[in-house]
Amino acid sequence: EVQLVESGGGLVKPGGSLRLSCAASGFTFSYYSINWVRQAPGKGLEWVSSISSSSSYIYYADSVKGRFTISRDNAKNSLYLQMNSLRAEDTAVYYCARSSGRYCSGGSCRASNWFDPWGQGTLVTVSS
Amino acid sequence: QSVLTQPPSVSGAPGQRVTISCTGSSSNIGAAYDVHWYQQLPGTAPKLLIYGNSNRPSGVPDRFSGSKSGTSASLAITGLQAEDEADYYCQSYDSSLSGSVVFGGGTKLTVL
């Protein structure tokens, strides 16, 4: 079974740091780009960061750029998110999600980027 | 404010058909980037519902269908069932943004 399991969430004070982990199983982790997506309480989904299969390409949302660092260890089938200088507005459930990049339809194939599967999420609360 | 605009809520009676719109612009949906849809049941993680505008993953009932035209996309649900009550999100790519992955604000579907 293809599975992603997040861990590392918790309560942290503003300005503090936290490191999230995402453990993958059931697929060849090193073949796929992986993402972090967050959801503030009662709000919608917000993409946070992406990392390519070999870590060559890394992207961040403007809201976390310079404060968060995404990384991966393909030997351990694991994804990480180092979060520094945390703010109250970073309070959210953080999901890791695998990018799935190519499909064929109507006789032609094309690259695309959808997220499947998702982990169950880990809650990060930033509060004094 | 999301780059992709969805109605905050829609509703329908069991057995009816509902549609959820996702409106973008020339830098995302209108630039021919694919739209994908997710269903999020209460208290759970999002689940892929439609990929590549109109393709259903295995296991997703054919009551769910997606389409795209111009700068908009739509998710249609026919034969509405109580278990369809959930939040629905569209997702695409935007060439004007860092990292480029964008989500709609989400639509709460209520089954009356």
SS (H, E, C) chain A: CCEEEEECCEEECCCCCEEEEEEEECCCHHHCCEEEEEECCCCCEEEEEEECCCCCCEEECCCCCCCEEEEEEHHHCEEEEEECCCCHHHCEEEEEEEEEEEEEECCEEEEEEEEEEECCCEEEEECC
Q: Which of A60, A97, A105 sits opposite B98 (nearest CB)?
A: A60
Upstream peptide bond of A117 is cis (omega within 30 degrees of 0): yes
Instruction: Kindly give the parts of chain B with pLDDT less than 50.
Output: none
Q: Which of A100, A113, A121 sits opposite B93 (nearest CB)?
A: A113
- Per-residue confidence (pLDDT) for residue B19, from 0 to 100: 98
The average pLDDT across A23-34 equals 96
The answer to whether the Cβ–Cβ distance between B48 and A110 falls below 8 Å is no
- Per-residue confidence (pLDDT) for residue B21, from 0 to 100: 98
Q: Which of B45, B48, B97 sits opposite A121 (nearest CB)?
A: B45
Q: Is B57 on the interface with A (CB under 8 A)?
A: yes
Chain A contact set for B58 (CB, 8 A):
none
The answer to whether the Cβ–Cβ distance between B38 and A113 falls below 8 Å is no
Q: Is B7 on the interface with A (CB under 8 A)?
A: no
- Per-residue confidence (pLDDT) for residue A107, from 0 to 100: 83
The nearest alpha carbon in chain A to B105 belongs to A44
CB B4 within 8 A of CB B68: no
**Distance between CA atoms of A8 and A1, rounded to whole angstroms?**
23
Chain B contact set for A50 (CB, 8 A):
99, 101
The average pLDDT across A69-77 equals 98
pLDDT in tens, A50-63: 999 999 999 999 99
pLDDT in tens, A83-107: 999 999 999 999 999 998 788 887 8
- Per-residue confidence (pLDDT) for residue A103, from 0 to 100: 83
Tell me: pLDDT of A120 over 80.
yes
